Amino acid sequence: MCRLCDPKRPQLPCPTRRDFLTASAIGGAAATLGLGSTRTAQAQTVAASTLPEGLGTPGRRVLIKGGAVLSVDDAVGNFAVGDVLIDGKTIVEVGANIDAPDAVQIDAAGKIVMPGFIDTHHHQFETALRSQLANGILINDGRPANASNYYETILQGFSMVYRPEDVYINELFGGIAQLDAGVTTVMDVSQIHHSPEHSDAAIEGLRDAGRRGVFGYFEGWGDRAKYPQDAARIKQQYFSSDDQLTTMVMGGEIYLPGYEAAWKIGRELGLPIALHVVGTFGMQPTFDELGAAGMFGEDNIFIHMTGMSDDGWKYAADAGAHVSLSVPIEMHMRHGTPPIQQAIDLGMDMSLSTDVECTMTADFFTQMRSLVTLQRMFANEKALSGQEYPELMTTMEAVRQATMGGARGLKLDRKVGSLTPGKEADIILLDAEAINVAPLNNVPGAIVTLMERTNVDTVMVAGEVKKWKGQMMGFDIDRLRGELEASRDYLFEAAKIERNLFA
């Protein structure tokens, strides 16, 4: 039985994973489930009929024509009306009026053309638990209302009962959902490595979504967990080449025993080392000790960085480490005040991340808005009280953190993050004529202050179209949603947690 099959529904045929991933399966799979001709499948079919063939293949030249081009590259510049020329998976030219008669054209009039968003920290295995912890905080503070909290409810409750098939469908669906929202790259922080089979399923789900993915190999629990030693096998089996969409990062949580081995293995394998850095977990002394011992480097990705000492910040900045911020989650779940200004003042590389959908959306427009409004709130409060205040963050700076900031953090800036000739074509087209945006007066302003996921019209990864005219391509969304719901039902039952829609 395949890992996507629900044992409670033995009458269904046992599909292979690839059955879910081909455009031709849309109608057939829906009919098999008795779904008939759904509106989703019909819309996908209509959109697919207008999609040029061969996009993303070597020698296939594509000209994105007549959009408002936001390159996020000062050397390239921006164009009120401009073009982007792609050859296969590579951007070859960005300009005001490119002549390429041999290229198939994509009409971008009324659209903003920009690099895809890059999420540097997302726990995709929790997709089936969306909104379950909407009112929760990070750890139990002793109040009855906070008994349902992230550490106990999610990590020590739900996650313990995941099967490999649950990991796969959660990873896959979460990845597709973010593609739909214009997030073309993710670092998946998969703290679900209870066995090598769980690890393999996480990688397969990440890869099968078809976007650029960084597999974050973090911890697991139980007798069959092989973290961190299994990192060598995983890297050799799945990440032996740098010329692929999926790459690897080593997780090394300093609040867990044995983190030293994870750091050692990660660096021996040449992998970046990522970890959550949260004062709530009492990790400041260990963090400062590591910094003082010279253990930090440019290969470190520090997630959150809330509640850390001035010394800790200096060690991180001096080492050239990267900071990944999850601003809405940090505010909502009591991680501590998002340290936006600290990172800015120290000149540190900074990126945005969505963290956990059990509590907050993985939509990147929410991330950018939260970043810019919170930084400005603190600065404005100082200004109103007559104090010296820092420069107000601009919407363009928020866009940079959501694109190039993430690319630098994941060591992918030579490949993606901007519309730069020679980089791979991870590109999104945003509808600037939609009712919530028109008329367009300021491109970064419209992106950060007005837009949301329905404005994402087209998404390309390495030149291949993943979303076209508002429709995801190549996935039977209805069937995948059904499999995710079946996983959800199993997880609640196995974890012995009641699913109450109004609790």
Alpha-carbon torsion, ordered 70, 437, 399, 83, to 10 deg: -10
Asked whether residue 480 is assigned to any structural domain, the reply reads no
Assess whether pLDDT exceeds 70 at residue 326: yes
Q: Which tokens is 54 given?
A: 């061969």
The verdict on 336 and 440 lying in the same domain is no
What is the chain's mean pLDDT, rounded?
92
DSSP code string of 353-380: --B-TTTS---HHHHHHHHHHHHHHHHH
Q: What element of type H or E holds 44?
A: helix 39-48
Q: Is the pLDDT of residue 216 over 70?
A: yes
- Evaluate if residue 47 carries a pLDDT over 60: yes
**Which residues does residue 226 pair with via DSSP β-bridges, in sequence order?**
none
Q: Tell me which of 393, 409, 425 is where a domain ends.
A: 409
Asked if residues 62 and 103 have their Cβ atoms less than 8 Å apart, the reply is yes
151 found inside a domain: yes
Residues 249 and 345 in one domain: yes
pLDDT at 503: 82
> pTM (2 decimals)?
0.92
Residues 101 and 213 in one domain: no
- Same domain? 68 vs 207: no
**Alpha carbon distance 456, 468 (integer Å):** 9
Beta bridge partners of 487: none
* Residue 41 or 224, more confident: 224
Please check the confidence at residue 36 and state whether its pLDDT lies above 70: no
> In this structure, are 319 and 203 located in the same domain?
yes
Q: CA of 35: how far to CAs of 21, 27, 38, 264, 477, in Å? A: 17, 9, 7, 51, 12
Say if residues 289 and 318 touch (Cβ distance below 8 Å): no
Q: Hey, how many other C-beta atoms are within 10 angstroms of the C-beta on 429? A: 26
More confident residue, 404 or 29: 404
Is pLDDT of 57 > 80?
no
- pLDDT class for 361, splitting at 50, 70, 90? very high
Domains contained in the chain, number: 2
C-alpha span between 19 and 38 (Å, rounded) = 17
**Same domain? 342 vs 245:** yes
Is residue 365 predicted with pLDDT exceeding 60? yes
- Judged against a pLDDT cut of 70, whether residue 138 lies above it is answered with yes
In a domain? residue 214: yes
Q: Is residue 17 part of a domain?
A: no
Asked if residue 351 is part of any domain, the answer here is yes
Q: Are 361 and 433 in the same domain?
A: no
Cα→Cα distances 138→170, 239, 305, 370, 474, Å: 21, 33, 15, 19, 37
CB 287 within 8 A of CB 277: yes
Cα(373)–Cα(358) distance, integer angstroms = 23
Has residue 183 been placed in a domain?
yes
Residue 424 is classified by DSSP as B
Report the C-alpha gap between 332 and 315 in whole angstroms. Answer: 28
Q: Does residue 314 sit in the same domain as residue 170?
A: yes
Query: SS3 of 187, please?
Result: strand
Does residue 488 belong to any structural domain of this protein? Answer: no
Crossing angle for the helix pair 25-32 and 477-495, nearest 10 degrees?
A: 50
User: Are residues 283 and 143 located together in one domain of the fold?
Assistant: yes
The least confident of 38-52, 70-84, 411-425 is 38-52
Flag the least confident range among 2-16, 388-402, 414-428: 2-16
Question: Residue 247 falls within a domain, yes or no?
Answer: yes
For residues 449-469, average pLDDT: 97
CA–CA gap between residue 235 and residue 289 (Å, rounded)? 29
User: CATH no. for residue 308?
Assistant: 3.20.20.140
pLDDT category of residue 230 using cuts at 50, 70 and 90: very high
Same domain, 221 and 83: no
- What percentage of the chain carries pLDDT values higher than 70? 92
- Compare 36 and 407 and report the one with higher pLDDT: 407
**Peptide bond connecting 164 to the previous residue in cis, omega within 30 degrees of 0:** no
pLDDT band, residue 43 (cuts 50/70/90): confident
Residues 99 and 158 in one domain: no
* pLDDT of 353 over the 50 cut: yes
- Is residue 15 exposed (0-12), middle (13-18) or buried (19+ Cβ within 10 Å)? middle
Contact 407, 415 (CB under 8 A): yes
Could you identify the residue written with the tokens 């008329």? 439
**Do 270 and 300 share a domain, yes or no?**
yes
Please tell me the predicted confidence (pLDDT) of residue 38: 64
Domain holding 427: CATH number? 2.30.40.10
Other beta carbons less than 10 A from residue 141's beta carbon: 12
Q: Rounded to an integer, what distance in angstroms lies between the CA atom of residue 306 and that of residue 344? A: 14
Domain of 430, in residue numbers: 61-116+417-472
- 5-27 tens-digit pLDDT: 333 433 333 344 444 444 333 33
| Per-residue pLDDT at 56 exceeds 90 | no
